[in-house]
Amino acid sequence: MDTQSDKVTLTLFYVGSFVVYYLVTMLITLFPNYGALRNNGLLVPVLCLFEFAVIYPLYRFYCQRRSDIPLGFLRPGQALLFIGALFVLMVAQTQFLQPEGWLIAQSQQGRSSMLILLLTAVLLAPVFEEVLFRGFLLQAFLLWAPKSRFACMLLTSLLFAALHTQYVHWETIVALTLFSLLLCYARLRSNSLALPIFLHTLNNLIAILPAWFYA
């Protein structure tokens, strides 16, 4: 980073990306068929579609100008280690997680609704959420506190958990925070977004696929 002005400009871009993300989330409630989307179990998939359509182009725009948040690629050995850590975390979560009402309601909409949720949660959500949280947000904190990496990871993870407002149980919030800490560490260790995107995709697939089978 060359100047204080550059840091401020980048921070404004990161914050602006989150404002855009939040506005998209809020604007969906103004849709004339918002109630129908919610009742049919399509609200979360539609949100994912719109959020991806807005955030991913911002990331491409960013990458054309800077190289500090690259997509990168997977290293097999490194990926296997983090997959093992993810599985340990997921097994531990089964001991204390409580069923979340929104996912139960979603599964009651039928297999077609669950299939749409599965596709968007596996193909879209991991990409734009990693760009936003382990990309822009984590980078913003590191920009101002480069020597406090754990604090930056923790702040990122707390915000990640807090912004998943569809979850209501504190146990889920704790699990999301721990999950995000793992993803933050994966981003920093791999110096790219490919590994956290892969882990996020795998997590969502394992979490939602059984609900689709039993829908």
State pLDDT tens for residues 35-80.
888 888 888 899 999 999 999 999 999 999 999 999 999 999 999 9
- Residue where the block lists tokens 């997977």: 74
Provide mean pLDDT across the span 200-211: 90
- The pLDDT of 103-116, averaged and rounded, is 81
Total number of domains in the chain? 1
CA distance 58 to 61: 5
- Reduce the DSSP state of residue 9 to 3 states and report it: helix
pTM of the model: 0.94
- pLDDT of 36: 85
Per-residue pLDDT band for 190 (boundaries 50, 70, 90) equals very high
Q: Which of 214, 209, 208, 210 is nearest to 102 (CA)?
A: 208
Cβ atoms of 152 and 141 within 8 Å: the answer is yes
Query: Taking residues 160-188, what's their average pLDDT?
Result: 94
Q: Please check whether residue 211 is in contact with residue 109, taking contact to mean a CB–CB distance below 8 angstroms.
A: no
Angle between helices 149-162 and 170-190 (to 10 degrees): 140
In this model, does residue 215 exceed pLDDT 70?
no
Highest mean predicted confidence (pLDDT) among 39-48, 153-162, 167-176: 153-162
Q: Which residue has the higher pLDDT, 164 or 108?
A: 164
Residue 175 and residue 91: Cα distance in Å, rounded? 11
pLDDT at 142 over 90: yes
Examine the pLDDT at 13 and tell me if it is beyond 80. yes
Q: In 3-state terms, the chain is what percent helix, strand and coil (to 5)?
A: 80, 0, 20
- Parent domain of 183: 3-70+77-214
